[in-house]
């Protein structure tokens, strides 16, 4: 069983700050939050069913983040360096690599923390002509058969299909492991294949500006809660948001 | 231009219609709509089959809604067609579109050309009703088979259109304590929601109550964030709220920088005191 985990390296969203009219993205890079769950699930499947777990990333190819993915337990990472990317160009580049790997299962996550479109695995599945199971919160694999529980907002679904296919996982599918020091040291011996992008994006990013809604930040001391609530209610009535 | 609009929720077809009021619109949906010139009523909710049907219409512009399934269907269709795609667009004018990025901290402006697939966000719009020609379409089944569907709990309160929301985070302390927030929500006529840890991880509230990046995006007049620390993924879901009230014992929590009024104190006491006051009036 060969499994591919898709992950993206993004600016750490807890460190991004707005300074004046610009968004400061010059912050440390990290593996996008839910993508770690995709990596974790690929490693678990490999541990249970044997075979290989290979990571594929495109965009920023920050070595420290790639080493973290390898230290978690991926056997190899294919790093596609892309300065400019959109979903079309990223999926085209990744699809090229997947055609060579011919995996049984491709795992992505529900959304990344940078563009948060939540559509990449579905796009890739369409491009490859493979079936897709999205928003997966648990899976079991027997032979060529996969059974998955999907988490939609107002319902859950249990579905079945056959490998090969693409799935997107939600964060609650697992708790990503934290590599040990030994694993981190050993990760430097694992192969990283660098690929240069040769597909141009079709959508052009014209600008990114901060999306700031100025909040009033009025602090009310709640040590005497009755007074605090009176104060808050008078503010909220002034605002006209409660009667 | 051949415009096709798909959503399981007819509200999105109305929004699509408002962006292209002078163009012919072909809607594909499981529900009825008055905001399209043609409606293809499909007989089943099979994502792969719907995506294949949409691709077979060879649209220049495919617009989908932004429910979880809508987006997956639009993206699968875009992949089949090898079209570019823009998800969660909040505004379109000419060949420019805007979308929210970096967990709600930035707005990206993008330039596109047709053919393309765009998924649009919900907003309140005016659109004229159209003379809609209807036809029924029977879809073939995709390769993923549904074995079981379970509807989740919740009282059918629509958080995405609620005017007052009381929302709880880990700081509420325990599952039992949620009843205090629930009493407050009832007393002020609001809906009860929660952060990702409370809904998806701990299961203290049904998952359809989850507010944030991977849950629902809400825009009430007032949002009470009770014991919510304010991670970017949560803030992304409440950006369009008019007034945010945070109640937290930690005055250094990130939510403080992102709220209008911050009561620094105990969440339970706050709920009890609020219920007394609001109930009294």
Cβ–Cβ contact A242 with B under 8 A: yes
Q: Do B236 and A134 touch (CB under 8 A)?
A: no
Could you count the other beta carbons within 10 Å of the beta carbon of residue A188? 11
Name the band, by pLDDT with cuts 50, 70 and 90, for residue A153.
Answer: confident
Q: Which two tokens stand for residue A70?
A: 């390898």
Cβ–Cβ contact A228 with B under 8 A: yes
Q: Can you tell me the distance from the alpha carbon of B66 to that of B210, in angstroms, rounded to the nearest whole number?
A: 16
Torsion of CA B162, B164, B170, B174, to 10 degrees: -100
Kindly tell me the burial class for residue B93, based on how many C-beta atoms sit within 10 Å of its own C-beta (0-12, 13-18, 19 or more). exposed
Q: What percentage of chain A carries pLDDT values higher than 90?
A: 82
Read out DSSP for B59-121?
-SEEEE--SHHHHHHHHHHHHHHT--EEEEEEEEETTEEEEEETTTTEEEEEE--SSEEEEE-
Mean pLDDT by 10 residues, chain B (281 residues): 95 94 95 96 95 98 94 97 94 91 87 95 88 95 92 67 94 95 94 91 86 87 96 88 96 93 97 89 49
Q: Can you tell me the distance from the alpha carbon of B28 to that of A118, in angstroms, rounded to the nearest whole number?
A: 22
Cβ–Cβ contact B74 with A under 8 A: yes
Residues of chain A with C-beta less than 8 angstroms from the C-beta of B78 = 87-88, 123, 126
Cβ–Cβ contact B20 with A under 8 A: no
Q: Can you tell me the distance from the alpha carbon of A65 to that of B21, in angstroms, rounded to the nearest whole number?
A: 47
Question: Is the pTM value of this prediction over 0.80?
Answer: yes
CA proximity to B112, closest of B141, B72, B148, B78: B78
**Residue B157: what pLDDT?**
63
CB-based contacts of B276, cutoff 8 Å, min separation 6: none
Which secondary structure element, helix H or strand E, spans residue A160, and what is its range? strand A155-162
Of B76, B164, B270, Cβ closest to residue A122: B76
* SS3 category, A96: helix
Of A33, A205, A233, Cβ closest to residue B277: A233
| DSSP structural state of residue B235 | H
Q: Can you tell me the distance from the alpha carbon of A130 to that of A136, in angstroms, rounded to the nearest whole number?
A: 16
Nearest Cα of chain A lies from the Cα of B259 at a distance, in angstroms, of 5
Q: Do B101 and A208 touch (CB under 8 A)?
A: yes
Nearest Cα of chain B lies from the Cα of A231 at a distance, in angstroms, of 10
Q: Which two tokens stand for residue B130?
A: 């159209």
- Residue in B with minimal Cα distance to A85: B84
Chain A neighbours among B 123-142 (CB < 8 Å)? 142
Tell how strand B222-226 and strand B145-151 pair up: unpaired
A66-111 pLDDT, tens per residue?
Answer: 999 999 999 999 999 999 999 999 999 999 999 999 999 999 999 8
Q: Do B79 and A11 touch (CB under 8 A)?
A: no
Cβ–Cβ contact B110 with A under 8 A: yes
A107-143 pLDDT, tens per residue?
Answer: 999 988 888 888 999 999 999 999 999 999 999 999 9
Residues of chain B with C-beta less than 8 angstroms from the C-beta of A25 = 102
Of A56-60, A187-191, B212-216, B225-229, least confident by mean pLDDT is B212-216
Q: Do A119 and B269 touch (CB under 8 A)?
A: no
Asked if B184 and A171 touch (Cβ cutoff 8 Å), the reply is no
A212-237 pLDDT, tens per residue?
Answer: 888 999 999 999 999 999 999 999 99
Chain A neighbours among B 168-197 (CB < 8 Å)? 188, 196
């Amino acid at each position: 069983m060969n499994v591919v985990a898709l992950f993206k390296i993004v600016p750490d969203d807890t460190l991004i700050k707005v300074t004046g009219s610009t968004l400061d993205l010059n912050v440390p890079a990290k593996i996008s939050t839910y993508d770690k769950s995709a990596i974790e699930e690929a490693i678990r499947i490999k541990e249970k069913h044997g075979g290989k777990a290979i990571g594929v990333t495109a965009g920023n190819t920050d070595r420290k983040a790639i080493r973290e993915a390898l230290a978690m337990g991926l056997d190899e990472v294919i790093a596609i360096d892309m300065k400019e990317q959109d979903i079309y160009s990223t999926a085209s580049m990744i699809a090229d690599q997947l055609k060579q790997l011919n995996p049984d299962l491709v795992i992505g996550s529900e959304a990344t923390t940078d563009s948060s479109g939540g559509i990449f695995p579905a796009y890739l599945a369409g491009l490859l002509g493979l079936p897709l199971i999205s928003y997966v919160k648990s899976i079991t694999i027997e032979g060529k058969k996969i059974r998955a529980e999907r988490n939609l907002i107002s319902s859950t679904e249990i579905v079945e299909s056959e490998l090969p296919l693409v799935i997107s996982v939600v964060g609650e599918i697992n708790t990503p492991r934290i590599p040990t020091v030994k694993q981190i040291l050993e990760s430097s011996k694992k192969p990283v294949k660098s690929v240069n992008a040769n597909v141009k994006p079709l959508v052009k990013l014209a600008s990114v500006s901060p999306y700031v809604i100025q909040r009033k930040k009025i602090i009310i001391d709640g040590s005497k809660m009755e007074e605090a609530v009176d104060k808050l209610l008078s503010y909220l009535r002034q605002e006209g948001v409660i009667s | 231009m051949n415009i096709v609009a798909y959503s399981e929720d007819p509200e999105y077809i109305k929004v699509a219609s408002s962006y292209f009021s002078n163009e012919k619109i072909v809607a594909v949906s499981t529900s009825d709509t008055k905001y399209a010139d043609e409606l293809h009523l499909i007989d089943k909710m099979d994502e792969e089959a719907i995506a294949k049907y949409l691709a077979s219409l060879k649209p220049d512009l495919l617009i989908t809604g932004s429910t979880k399934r809508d987006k997956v269907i639009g993206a699968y269709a875009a992949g089949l067609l090898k079209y570019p795609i823009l998800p969660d667009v909040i505004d379109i004018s000419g060949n420019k579109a805007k979308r929210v990025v970096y967990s709600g901290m930035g707005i990206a402006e993008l330039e596109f050309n047709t053919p393309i697939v765009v998924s649009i966000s919900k907003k309140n719009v005016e659109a004229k009703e159209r003379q809609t020609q209807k036809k029924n379409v029977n879809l073939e089944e995709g390769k993923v088979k549904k074995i079981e569907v379970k509807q989740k709990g919740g009282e059918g309160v629509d958080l995405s259109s609620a005017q007052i929301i009381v929302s709880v985070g880990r700081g509420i302390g325990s599952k039992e304590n949620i009843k205090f927030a629930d009493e407050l929500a009832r007393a002020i006529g609001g809906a009860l929601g929660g952060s990702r840890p409370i809904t998806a991880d701990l299961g203290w509230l049904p998952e359809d109550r989850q507010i944030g990046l991977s849950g629902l995006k809400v825009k009430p007049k007032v949002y009470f964030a009770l014991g919510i620390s304010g991670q970017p993924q949560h803030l992304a879901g409440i950006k369009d709220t008019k007034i945010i009230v945070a109640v937290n014992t930690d005055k250094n929590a990130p939510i403080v920088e992102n709220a209008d009024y911050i009561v620094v104190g105990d969440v339970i006491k706050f709920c009890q005191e609020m219920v007394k006051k609001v109930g009294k009036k």
